[in-house]
Amino acid sequence: MNRKGIILVIGAVLLILVIGYVYLSFNGYPQKKSDIAKEVQTSLLNQRSYTSDDIMKIEGVYSFKNKKYQATVNFKDEPNVNYTYELNNGKLKLIETSNIHGKHMDETFSN
């Protein structure tokens, strides 16, 4: 391989690494999003006494703004309302909702 080819390969590898870093910086690691979704589900079932039948969907998300992993939950009785939870030292906290008058608001939420 000649010098021009080596430089081209090194440049391509560096470009891929930079793109990967930028993507993960904005979107977070998929495994960590999956882990937080499972942890929030477990906390909702154990700490808040919900049943698995109450929960329609839980999706792990990464907040680029505050660099934290969170989970967005939709309950079956309010499928169009999003509740975003965060775990802080093992404690579940509701940090955001799309409807402040929703049925699943709790004392951990503060504006």
pLDDT, tens digit, for every residue of 77-111?
999 999 999 998 889 999 999 999 999 998 888 86
Measuring CA to CA, how many Å separate 41 from each of 2, 17, 20, 59, 62? 55, 34, 29, 10, 16
pLDDT tens-digit readout, 36-86: 999 999 999 998 889 999 999 999 999 988 899 999 999 999 999 999 999
Residue 49: predicted pLDDT: 86
Q: Please report which helix (H) or strand (E) contains residue 87, including its range.
A: strand 78-88
Q: Is the pTM of this model over 0.85?
A: no
Residue 98 DSSP label: S
Say if CB 75 and CB 56 are below 8 A apart.
yes
Go through 44-78 and write b for each residue having 16 or more CB atoms within 10 A of its CB, e for each that does not: beeeeebeeeebeebbbbbeeeeeebbbbbbbeeb
pLDDT, averaged across the chain: 93
Residue 111: predicted pLDDT: 65
